[in-house]
């Protein structure tokens, strides 16, 4: 039978590893940017991993365009950068749901598998018994 204290330590370590992995990925994606030019190459847009506009570069020749043309160039560059950012985000998170789901299933069991709950209840009961037996414990 597994020692309840070591089972909880193992659970805590696995949960901490999952949290560290999620934090690392969040930080990595928060720092990621993607730049893309429009078709003319006169306008370049930079977006963050979520598609937020974080930069805009205009070649001086772009200023010779009409406002409608300039608007179209900016929107075209934004669409291209956003598509690349979406692809980058998808590549970084591909299989993440499955991976995290597998990790959590390993910790808590698969849907319909209640044996892990029984093990958890048993471990909690044993910890409560041990706590009650320690010196100075309140009755």
Looking at residue 95, its pLDDT comes to 63
- Summary mean pLDDT of the chain: 78
Strand order of the β-sheet with 33-37 is 33-37, 43-48, 53-58
pLDDT at 106 over 60: no
Q: How confident is the model at residue 19 (pLDDT cuts 50, 70, 90)?
A: confident
Number of domains observed in the structure of the chain: 1
For the stretch 27-69, pLDDT in tens is 777 778 999 999 999 999 999 988 899 999 999 999 999 999 9
47 belongs to a structural domain: yes
Looking at residue 88, its pLDDT comes to 83
- Candidates 75, 43, 40; CA nearest to 57 is 43
The CATH number that applies at residue 77 is 3.30.1310.10
Q: How confident is the model at residue 94 (pLDDT cuts 50, 70, 90)?
A: confident
- Candidates 30, 67, 68, 62; CA nearest to 45 is 62
135 belongs to a structural domain: no
Per DSSP, 136 falls in state T
In the block, residue with structure tokens 């409560």: 128
Burial, 61: exposed, middle or buried (Cβ in 10 Å; 0-12, 13-18, 19+)?
exposed
Q: 17 CB contacts (<8 Å, ≥6 apart)?
A: none
Looking at residue 90, its pLDDT comes to 82
Spatial contact of 33 and 47, defined as CB atoms under 8 Å apart:
yes
Q: How confident is the model at residue 105 (pLDDT cuts 50, 70, 90)?
A: low
137 belongs to a structural domain: no
Is this structure's pTM higher than 0.85?
A: no
138 belongs to a structural domain: no
Domain extent, residue 47, equals 4-130
């Amino acid at each position: 039978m597994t020692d309840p204290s070591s089972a909880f330590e193992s659970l805590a370590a696995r949960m901490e590893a999952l949290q560290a992995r999620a934090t690392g990925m969040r930080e990595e994606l928060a720092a990621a940017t993607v730049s893309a030019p429009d078709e003319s190459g006169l306008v370049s847009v930079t977006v963050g991993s979520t598609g937020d506009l974080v930069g805009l570069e205009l070649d001086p020749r772009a200023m010779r365009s009409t406002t409608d043309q300039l608007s179209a160039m900016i929107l075209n560059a934004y669409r291209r950068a956003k598509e690349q950012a979406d692809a980058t985000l998808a590549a970084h998170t591909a299989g993440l749901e499955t991976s995290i789901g597998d990790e959590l299933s390993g910790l808590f069991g698969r849907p319909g598998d209640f044996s892990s709950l029984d093990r958890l209840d048993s471990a909690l009961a044993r910890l409560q018994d041990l706590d009650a037996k320690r010196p100075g414990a309140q009755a």
